[in-house]
Amino acid sequence: MNKFETFTGIAAPMPLVNIDTDMIIPKQFLKTIKRSGLGVHAFDEMRYDRQGGENPDFVLNKPAYRETSILVAGDNFGCGSSREHAPWALADFGIKVVVSTSFADIFFNNCFKNGMLPIVLPQEQVDLLMTDSERGENARMTVDLEAQEITTSDGDVIKFDVDPFRKHCLLNGLDDIGLTLEKAESIQTFETEAAQARPWV
């Protein structure tokens, strides 16, 4: 997993509430176990028409938002089924941060495991960021995880909370496997000693 570093990116407004995981990545794309290649299908039913052409009214199809890396979303983002393909699809599209007033628990946890930062803020602060994100290519925000700050295109600074352990994992690019590998030396020592003590196992 890549380290989460301070970055400046385009923010897109997605004010719809209750965007569920089936809207993020529809069920017909769940056959793969690869984390790559799903970005093209993110928000598939909103993004494309029945003939497979792009819906010009969908925010991420608009020229100003094609390089979006931050989503400012409505309440209860990521609800529905527990599919981990949802954060896979967002990450593969290029989304690094999702801001909302609330998230479904499983989706929230899966974001951290896939190098994405979900940020929970009060409604008035989400509204401010939503308004800022409506500026198209000028909606460039800076997210500083170390300082726990979002800086808007106008220079306003919004502080956010994040669990210290999850912050550590993101800053150091540690998923569950990475955390285990940090203990590789201790694991190897244990295995060696166990083999010597119980050679019949």
Whether 135 is covered by a domain: the verdict is: yes
Whether 60 is covered by a domain: the verdict is: yes
Mean pLDDT of 125-129: 97
What's the CATH number where 21 sits? 3.20.19.10
Q: Which domain holds residue 71?
A: 7-174
Residues 50-108: tens digit of each pLDDT = 888 999 999 999 999 999 999 999 999 999 988 899 999 999 999 999 999 999 999 99
DSSP string covering the chain: ------EEEEEEEE--S--BHHHHS-GGGTT---SSS-GGGTTHHHHB-TTS-B-TTSGGGSGGGTTEEEEEE-SSBTBSS--THHHHHHHHHT--EEEES-B-HHHHHHHHHTT-EEEE--HHHHHHHHHHHTTGGG-EEEEETTTTEEE-TT--EEE----HHHHHHHHHT--HHHHHHTTHHHHHHHHHHHHHH-TT-
Whether 157 is covered by a domain: the verdict is: yes
Whether 145 is covered by a domain: the verdict is: yes
Which pLDDT score is estimated for 72?
98
Whether 25 is covered by a domain: the verdict is: yes
Question: What is the number of structural domains in the chain?
Answer: 1
Confidence of residue 192 (pLDDT cuts 50, 70, 90): confident
Whether 196 is covered by a domain: the verdict is: no
Whether 21 is covered by a domain: the verdict is: yes
Whether 22 is covered by a domain: the verdict is: yes
Residues 17-27: tens digit of each pLDDT = 999 999 999 99
